[in-house]
Structure 1
């Protein structure tokens, strides 16, 4: 492409009334995508004259609803954008939008390939520093450096600062609650009780509170009549388990598989509180300002994945004196021998007390 054509394309943002056009890359996973939202909201408030396009999977688009002057571009990494040639095609499509800078909040093989294509066209790319060395020191069993690391939200903000757009997360404001759809009202029967969301699953078993203990929590809360308990999950196995719990308690409603993702997000945004594992649902609730209690297994908030705006006292941890190697991993995929049942040290009464305290 000639230099003159490059100038025309890069001036597209200017012709639309914007000073610049920043591409934000975050393809997965759901929790990590959700953690971009408070940062992007704040960016939008501070830099209204900068257009944002988020490159992510189509399924995640509803996560960004409500952020002005933000568009979502679908990455079809299993289809037309698969492989190096597909990514070359994707970079060409994105350049056609008039992108002036790229914030890579993912820093994986795909985004690294895209970085090279953008660099060839003179477009600045800044990638997230994931702090791998710090996280390795935090999770090793010998000479562990047990300390709070920079949060993922802060790492995202650092990328924008390096692009010339400092983001002050202290200035973040949460959106107003959205109106409930007829589908949500029908499912919840428009209950006037406190709406408590419970998301009892996570990607790795090491981060899942034992189901029999979670059932104890649900049973005691159900007897109190104060809450409408809404269960969240996904996948046939999880849905079957939640349906079974739903059938046993009068104040429990299984949401999984009954709403579109867009409606599920609207419901989460209207909760009075959320109880979740160290998982995506915690970050979905937190991005709406919903008080979120998290239960942790072999992972730990010090790694930087505490839900946005939630105080540390809302993180319920296992017995760290007994299991001193925690955190054993960042994502929960490494479980030393003898650490399979760390979450059994979290008593149902502790969880219930935390919920009632909210």
Structure 2
């Protein structure tokens, strides 16, 4: 049990992206376990609400930043509605322009606000081309935890803070071979520099089907991604199924929780799986595990990196949006054999 908290009702702000939002889950689990009288209002995108479906005492409030809550006046409307909830303190896990506006508004009525330290200076040292400082930085999980600690709460991330594995919904169990081991593959990311080429993903799948009796499930997040994965899945038999848009996000999370292992990029699906204790193999391009975005409780040995001799300036970016000419091809130096070997080891 943690020390007696000063506050009873926290507003937690983390608007995007999905991976960053998912990384709040282990931190919130510890927070709620240590403080049984605490309630949390979580401000995020409505589409992310299912991520928190298994957390008691967490209420998700939708930030409609492209509609009702757009601009200064929209943020004031959002603040006015939040103020009615009798918030005791604010934990800003995002620290962007929108959350800074909300910080000013809450402070104006005497509500304390603590914001995340993103570690921009050390991340710049990690990714700069010269005088690079190659060392593991504090994880985003710990950066989130530090915000709550500064508010006087006890958060201990050394425990196994994972969600319970749910039973597969019938709508999913009937469409896959639930009796076999399930391998998830999520080959997409926000930036191409972080995406393993689909022709190599195809080779990975061929080898996995040859070496295991598992079923491979493909995950994507948009209509274009669904189209690409439909084409990929059509090259195989029923042991490869594209789950993109097949089921609602809530049911998809239940499926991810029941995977034996998932292959993901430096992106959201790996974090969603890690929250359920699923082994995650991550492929990295111009980004690097040292920046602090390794999925929860996943060993560094599960991270597969490009050839650093060929691309000595890696990492060049924290998010994948900055790299010298040609470095977007760094991820191509990772061989399908290396990927398959790591997945089969975890199986």
When normalised by structure 2's length, the TM-score is 0.96
Which residue number in structure 1 is paired with residue 191 of structure 2?
A: 204
Deviates more, 1:165-174 or 1:155-164: 165-174
Matches within 5 A, 1:5-24: 20-24=8-12
Map of 1:195 onto structure 2: 182
Q: Does 1:239 align with 2:226?
A: yes
Give me the whole-angstrom Cα distance separating, in 2, the residues matched to 1:334 and 1:178.
Answer: 39
1:62 counterpart = 2:50 = yes
Residue pair 2:226, 2:245 contacting (<8 A) in 1 also: yes
User: Where does residue 106 of structure 2 map in the other structure?
Assistant: 118
Aligned partner of 1:33 in structure 2 is 21
Distance apart, 1:221 and its partner CA: 1.1
Question: Does 1:219 pair with 2:212?
Answer: no
**For each residue in 1:86-127, what CA deviation from the matched residue of structure 2 results, as whole angstroms up to 9, or x when unmatched?**
111111111111100000000000000000000001000000
CA RMSD across the alignment: 1.2
Shift of 1:171: 2.8
Which residue of the partner structure matches residue 82 of structure 1? 70
Match in the other structure for 1:342? 330
Per-residue deviation, residues 133-190 of structure 1 (Å, max 9, x unmatched): 11111100011111111000000000000111131111343232112112111221x4
Q: How does 1:276-291 map to 2 (within 5 A)?
A: 276-291=264-279
Residue of structure 2 in register with 1:165 after alignment: 153
CA contact 2:7–2:38 (8 Å) conserved in 1: yes
Which residues of structure 2 form unaligned runs of 5+? 1-5
Report the Cα distance in structure 1 between the residues aligned to 2:165 and 2:194, rounded to whole angstroms: 30
Query: CA shift at 1:225, angstroms?
Result: 4.5
Counterpart check, 1:268 vs 2:228: no
- Counterpart secondary structure, 1:169: coil
Of stretches 223-232 and 145-154 in structure 1, the one that deviates more from structure 2 is 223-232
Q: Partners of 1:353 and 1:28 in 2: how far apart?
A: 33
Q: How far, CA to CA, are the matches of 2:299 and 2:328 in structure 1?
A: 27
Contact 1:91 1:117 in 2 (8 A): yes
Q: 2:217 aligned with 1:230, yes or no?
A: yes
- CA distance, structure 1, for counterparts of residue 330 and residue 189 of structure 2: 15
Distance in 2 (alpha carbons) for counterparts of 1:100 and 1:338: 50
Q: Runs ≥4 in structure 1, deviation > 4 angstroms?
A: none
User: How far did 1:304 drift?
Assistant: 0.3
Structure 2 distance, partners of 1:269, 1:291, is 10
Q: Does the 8 Å contact 2:12/2:40 carry over to 1?
A: yes
Determine the C-alpha separation between the residues in 2 that align with 1:299 and 1:84. 34
> C-alpha distance in 2, partners of 1:224/1:248?
17
| SS of equivalent residue, structure 1 residue 258 | coil
How far apart in 1 are the matches of 2:122 and 2:141? 16
**How many Å separate the matches in 2 of 1:247 and 1:337?**
34
- Cα distance in structure 2, aligned partners of 1:173 and 1:131: 24
Matches of 2:304 and 2:160, distance apart in 1: 25
How much does 1:223 deviate? 2.3
Contact 1:31/1:281 (<8 A) preserved: yes
Q: Judging changes above 3 Å, is the alpha-carbon distance between structure 1 residues 339 and 19 closer, same or farther for their aligned structure 2 residues?
A: closer
Corresponding residue pairs, total: 340
Partner SS state of residue 23, structure 2: helix
1:85 offset after TM fit, Å?
1.0
Aligned residue number for residue 3 of structure 2:
none
Check conservation: 1:81, 1:87, Cα contact below 8 A. Answer: yes
In the superposition, the TM-score normalised over structure 1's length comes to 0.93
